[in-house]
Amino acid sequence: MTITLKVSDNTREKMIEYFEDKRRAKTPPYAVFQAEEADTVVTLYESGKVVFQGVSADIDAAMWKEMEQSLNPTKKVEMSNSEQKKEKKEVIVDPKIYHSTSIGSDEVGTGDYFGPIVVTAAYVPKEEIPFLESLGVKDSKKLTDTMIMDIVPELIKRIPYHSIVLSNREYNDRYNDDINMNKIKAIMHNKALGIMKQKCPSYDYIVVDQFAVPGVYYHYLKGLPSVVRDITFLTKGEDKNLAVACASLISRYIFIREFDKLGESLGVFLPKGASHEVDLMGMKIVDKYGFDRLRECAKLNFKNTEKIRSLVKEK
């Protein structure tokens, strides 16, 4: 999610003070600073434009919008969210699927250089939908990692699920010219869904947050002894079906815990994603432990690996 807010000089000074201890070492061109606030990257430009990017961008942008309104009550606030406009056009919720008893699956970690891939299948009886909505699962994209760590323990007390965690070493061992990221994901989804079908055989729909068109998805599973085929594939599935939303949140919860454990084992604070900051951390890990250690903590097929090699050579 990306949100842009125009701030006045007095709000700008408040932001400079607030983010003093949260700034990144590198600053983009024409920016006063770039900083991290939980799951949001905040960039303040010399023009007074502030860009909020990340899962909780709307929450942080709303906070500074209120500050701007408070300090400048007669001034009209300029704020835009192009992705929100796009989502309004794209997200059409089918009430039959949303209000159904369903099994849904989703994955986390595929865009992060460090950390595992986690796929979860969750079972949601339609009677549990009001409970899930009261927890905030309906608006899962608005939940920060901190909120997820609070909500999911309550969620899993009532929602059956099965998660599969693929470590970095296992991922690197499997990935090759014939087995790409999407094939690995398809195999993991199929296994998790198969287990949930056995645990909870009474359902109206099986919903997968679509990452490949159905024909390609099933081609990835060719040759497997057991394939789940009664699937409804939905883009932005977590917005359209609460079983997918639960699967997403549970996967994120497990990913965060595994990610933190990984950082502790390395004695560092690992950054998420695949940014330049990740490259710099990769270089530090190689300096400390040697290049082979990346096999245990990173996805080596990412472009970050070559960038880390270059950074190490430049030293």
Same domain, 102 and 251: yes
- CATH code, domain carrying 34: 3.30.310.10
Instruction: Give the residue from 146, 123, 118, 126 showing the smallest Cα distance to 60.
Output: 146
User: DSSP label at 23?
Assistant: B
Q: Which pLDDT band holds residue 66 (cuts at 50, 70, 90)? A: confident
Q: What is the pLDDT of residue 85?
A: 52
Helix 242-266 × helix 276-289 angle, to 10°: 40
Q: In Å, how far are 20, 104, 127, 206, 226 from 196, measured between CA atoms?
A: 47, 9, 18, 10, 13
Q: What is the pLDDT of residue 315?
A: 67
The per-residue b/e assignment along 56-76, b for 16 or more CB within 10 angstroms, e otherwise, is bbbbbbeebbebbeeeeeeee
pLDDT for 258 beyond 70: yes
Q: What is the pLDDT of residue 90?
A: 55
Instruction: Give the residue from 278, 243, 208 showing the smallest Cα distance to 126.
Output: 243
Q: What is the pLDDT of residue 82?
A: 62
Q: What is the pLDDT of residue 89?
A: 54
Same domain, 139 and 288: no
Q: Which pLDDT band holds residue 27 (cuts at 50, 70, 90)? A: confident
Instruction: Give the residue from 122, 165, 114, 125 showing the smallest Cα distance to 299.
Output: 114
Q: Which pLDDT band holds residue 83 (cuts at 50, 70, 90)? A: low
d(CA 187, CA 193): 10
Same domain, 169 and 50: no
Same domain, 106 and 231: yes
236's CB contacts (< 8 A; 6+ apart) are: 87, 90, 91, 209
75's CB contacts (< 8 A; 6+ apart) are: 8, 68
**Which residue, chain included where needed, has tokens 């608006």?**
139
d(CA 151, CA 136): 8
Overall average pLDDT of the 109-121 stretch: 95
pLDDT for 41 beyond 60: yes
What is the tens place of the pLDDT at every residue in 170-216?
999 999 878 889 999 999 999 999 999 999 999 999 999 998 889 99
pLDDT for 282 beyond 60: yes
Would you tell me how many other CB atoms lie within 10 Å of the CB of residue 189? 27
Same domain, 124 and 58: no
Percentage of the chain beyond pLDDT 70 is 97
pLDDT for 140 beyond 80: no
Same domain, 78 and 151: no
Q: What is the pLDDT of residue 255?
A: 96
Same domain, 182 and 55: no
Same domain, 74 and 37: yes
pLDDT for 111 beyond 60: yes
Same domain, 16 and 41: yes
d(CA 119, CA 234): 16
Q: Two tokens at 107?
A: 């994955």
Q: Which one of 236, 255, 274 terminates a domain?
A: 255
Pairing of strands 205-209, 2-6: unpaired
Classified as helix, coil or strand, 34 is strand
d(CA 232, CA 94): 12
Would you tell me how many other CB atoms lie within 10 Å of the CB of residue 229? 9
Same domain, 204 and 289: no
* Domains in the chain, number: 3
Full domain range(s) for residue 134: 95-255
Same domain, 139 and 191: yes
